[in-house]
Amino acid sequence: MSNNKRPIRADDLNRIHYVEDPQISPDGKVVAFVKVTPDPLEKTYKRNIWLYRISEDASMQLTRGDKDSQPRWAPDGKQLAFVSTRGEKSQIYLLPTASPGGEARPLTSLEHGCHSPNWAADGSRIAFLSPMSSEERMQAEADDAEPPEPRDKLEGKHRKERRAEEEADRWDPRPMWRIPYRYSTTYVDERYDQVFVVDTAESPNSKPRRLTALDAHYSAPQWSADGRSIYTARTTIPEGDEPWHVMNVYSLDVETGAETALTAGEFSFSAPKPSPDGKWIACARSHIGITDLLTRLVIMAVDGNDTRVINESLDRQAIDWAWSPDNVLAFSVESEGNVLPWLYDPVSDRLSQAHGGTYDIEQLDIGVGGAIALTVSTPRNPQELYLLADGDFKEVTTFNHEWLDEVLVQPVHELRYESPNGEVQGWYILPGGYEAGRKAPLALNIHGGPHVPWGFSSKSMWHEWQFHAARGYAVFYCNPHGSGGYGEAFMRKLHAAWGPVAMDDIMAGVDAFLGLGYADEERMAITGGSYGGYMTAWIIAHTDRFKAAVAQRGVYNLSSFYGTSYLPLLISNEFDALPWDDHDVYWDNSPLKYAANIKTPLLVIHSENDFGVPIEQAEQLFAWVRRATDTPVRMLRYPREGHELSRSGEPGHRVSRLNEMVEWFDRYAGAGLAESGAVADGEAL
């Protein structure tokens, strides 16, 4: 092992590459995927499509537009459709794969862009989504004539400027007629994703044809095997609030656009994917109005009958799924700190685990012969593309290897322990250069969700945990009751008791870790985001054991969250009450109620465009601690960012956030071991 590796820094975030959306070619010989690279100068991320040729065990870059995603193979394997934002809006392009480096041909040029392409089985058509308002739909139906081409570039520029000005005027003032009226980091407008079909043959007369006409978002279209229908999902209450809570699967007639509902009743169904033989549709099924029950992966006959629940016996959540050309369903399952691949054969009704190990799958695809391409995070590498074929589980890209050869990666250790609620699984990472017998300051990390679990190698936290360890902190995190990955009963334990149950589990884990002798009880820091921010504020309002706290994008006042978030039903469903019917249950379970008890120096981090957990939550917590106590408190507001700041925000903001967090830890919990200098490498888990 090398003994001259350096500790990981915050700005190493810009050295980490990720992979997305693996797609195996129809002949099973090539995997198309997206490589994602931070671009701090442009405050964004470069996305290009790459090919991995299995027989050559080699990867090559296919596109260089830096804004390319969603690769989809033509049925004959000779072309890739992909989405690119090379102009003002995202459009679909076609690119031959036989001679890489050729020019991509734009297939669409719709005013509001498009996404989610899917090929018909004969390769003659592609279905996709593009947003339109009811007014635009009526106008398009009334007048199919194309507007005259501009006489020159100047006239074209003026047209664009005029359209932009008219669009801005239309939303001044901005009307709000439903909830949510804003989502992610943007305000909702009157445009909804509609299903279109376009011929793939190059023809001057080829024009996309719209199949749908409702003010409702349709999900990614999927062709039937015979090409006569398209499967999609949409809300059944287009006029209702939070419409995604009641979804159903529909079949669209490709010629007429007529819709046939394939699901209905007490469940919500989404993300349909038909089997290549035309017999089955796999989709997600969840309980309407209940957010802390497991989502089930089901398959049903294409007429909506003969439904089978695939993950019933597993009592675990399925994350991603795909059909093989020979009609075997591959899917990933989160369980006890890992996300691993499973298989289901509808003919034999056989369920089996495809591979075990210690890793975390984000996305997968399965090809002819059963080879599976997977995007995988491990305790030693934040993410690479892997291939599972004939029992051989192989890392096939090495994008992060050069960087990993430079830095010290500390091993991840499992710690199972007992809390008042039962057994809990946790993990710890020791500081770089740790010396036996020396106690390091502790950095306690708490996950969000509240049902999203962490594990041995969670991609979203990989660098952050290693950075904390590099700065001298012993890192501890766990999956308290309420987390996914341990069964439905474990997840339901948190129902209507977000604070007390999880605090018992988390603090029992802290004590179990302290009992190992690695961390100093007098120098403990605590942090978490979203529900983890909620728990950070809750814990420091109920104990003064921590010397520093960083609460990030947290929910602190359940009542005001209900009125400002685009996720109000999360609260009413999990606490079995509406705020006007039972204000006390909202207030009693709000960290803000107890904020005057906070004695731990507190840094509050939030994004100004976080419409999931609006910044008013942070403003209230900051104001209450500032005015009710003499506790040191500071607030950081990140402009342009949303709830995903830590995961996909501007690279510079992500680095800033990490440095601000650890500097706050250092100030009040005591600086850790030296950050600079050569240190010994840890051993992989």
Adjacency order of strands within the sheet including 68-73: 68-73, 79-84, 91-96, 105-106
Residue 376's closest CA among 392, 397, 391? 397
255, 227 contact by CB (below 8 A): no
220: pLDDT strictly greater than 70: yes
Residue 203 falls inside a structural domain: no
DSSP 8-class letter at 10: G
315: pLDDT strictly greater than 80: yes
525: pLDDT strictly greater than 70: yes
Give the pLDDT confidence score for residue 1 in this predicted structure.
Answer: 39
Mean pLDDT of 622-647: 97
Mean pLDDT of 65-94: 95
612: pLDDT strictly greater than 60: yes
Please state which of the ranges 21-25, 55-59, 101-105, 488-492 shows the lowest mean pLDDT.
101-105
Please state which of the ranges 99-103, 127-131, 254-258, 593-597 shows the lowest mean pLDDT.
99-103
Give the pLDDT confidence score for residue 99 in this predicted structure.
Answer: 61
List of residues 6+ apart from 246 with CB closer than 8 A: 235, 236, 237, 240, 268, 288
Residue 318 falls inside a structural domain: no
Q: Rounded to an integer, what distance in angstroms lies between the CA atom of residue 23 and that of residue 354? A: 18
Give the pLDDT confidence score for residue 146 in this predicted structure.
Answer: 58
Cβ-count burial of 99 within 10 angstroms (0-12 exposed, 13-18 middle, 19+ buried)?
exposed
Give the pLDDT confidence score for residue 252 in this predicted structure.
Answer: 98
Give the pLDDT confidence score for residue 59 in this predicted structure.
Answer: 96
Amino acid at 277: D
Mean pLDDT of 141-166: 72
Cβ-count burial of 488 within 10 angstroms (0-12 exposed, 13-18 middle, 19+ buried)?
middle
Look up the CATH number of the domain holding residue 484.
3.40.50.1820
Please state which of the ranges 442-446, 621-625, 672-676 shows the lowest mean pLDDT.
672-676
Residue 209 falls inside a structural domain: no
Mean pLDDT of 185-204: 91
Give the pLDDT confidence score for residue 144 in this predicted structure.
Answer: 57
679: pLDDT strictly greater than 70: no
Mean pLDDT of 510-519: 98
Domain membership of residue 614 as a residue range: 410-669
Q: Rounded to an integer, what distance in angstroms lies between the CA atom of residue 612 and that of residue 449? A: 12
pLDDT-derived band at 682, boundaries 50, 70, 90: very low
pTM, two decimals, is: 0.94
Amino acid at 143: D
Give the pLDDT confidence score for residue 177 in this predicted structure.
Answer: 82
- Token look-up 């006042």 returns 557
pLDDT-derived band at 449, boundaries 50, 70, 90: very high
pLDDT-derived band at 674, boundaries 50, 70, 90: very low
332: pLDDT strictly greater than 50: yes
Residue 531 falls inside a structural domain: yes
Q: Is 24 helix (H, G, I), strand (E, B) or coil?
A: strand
Q: What is the 3 state secondary structure string of 340-385?
A: EEEEEECCCCEEEECCCCCCEEEEEEECHHHCEEEEEEECCEEEEE
> What's the chain's average pLDDT?
93
672: pLDDT strictly greater than 90: no
List of residues 6+ apart from 109 with CB closer than 8 A: 91
Residue 40 falls inside a structural domain: no
Q: For a pLDDT cut of 90, what percent of the chain falls above it?
A: 82
Give the pLDDT confidence score for residue 644 in this predicted structure.
Answer: 96
Please state which of the ranges 60-74, 241-255, 462-476, 607-621 shows the lowest mean pLDDT.
241-255
Give the pLDDT confidence score for residue 194 in this predicted structure.
Answer: 97
Backbone angles phi, psi at 326, to 5 degrees: -100, 25
505, 478 contact by CB (below 8 A): yes
Give the pLDDT confidence score for residue 671 in this predicted structure.
Answer: 59
CB atoms within 10 A of CB 593: 17
Q: Rounded to an integer, what distance in angstroms lies between the CA atom of residue 11 and that of residue 582? A: 47
Give the pLDDT confidence score for residue 183 in this predicted structure.
Answer: 82
537: pLDDT strictly greater than 50: yes
DSSP 8-class letter at 263: -
Residue 324 falls inside a structural domain: no
DSSP string, 73-99: E-TTSSEEEEEE-SSSS-EEEEEESSS
Residue 102 falls inside a structural domain: no
Mean pLDDT of 375-382: 98
Give the pLDDT confidence score for residue 147 in this predicted structure.
Answer: 64
Give the pLDDT confidence score for residue 143 in this predicted structure.
Answer: 63
193, 236 contact by CB (below 8 A): no
Give the pLDDT confidence score for residue 443 in this predicted structure.
Answer: 98
Pairing of strands 602-607, 548-552: parallel
Helix 498-514 × helix 531-542 angle, to 10°: 70
Give the pLDDT confidence score for residue 162 in this predicted structure.
Answer: 81
Residue 526 falls inside a structural domain: yes
Give the pLDDT confidence score for residue 685 in this predicted structure.
Answer: 41
Backbone angles phi, psi at 547, to 5 degrees: -95, -15
612, 565 contact by CB (below 8 A): yes
Give the pLDDT confidence score for residue 328 in this predicted structure.
Answer: 98
pLDDT-derived band at 154, boundaries 50, 70, 90: confident
How many domains does the chain contain in total? 1
Give the pLDDT confidence score for residue 270 in this predicted structure.
Answer: 96
Q: Is 575 helix (H, G, I), strand (E, B) or coil?
A: helix
Q: Rounded to an integer, what distance in angstroms lies between the CA atom of residue 518 and that of residue 443? A: 12
List of residues 6+ apart from 491 with CB closer than 8 A: 292, 293, 294, 451, 481, 482, 483, 484
pLDDT-derived band at 489, boundaries 50, 70, 90: very high
684: pLDDT strictly greater than 70: no
Q: Rounded to an integer, what distance in angstroms lies between the CA atom of residue 322 and that of residue 330? A: 5
Amino acid at 139: Q
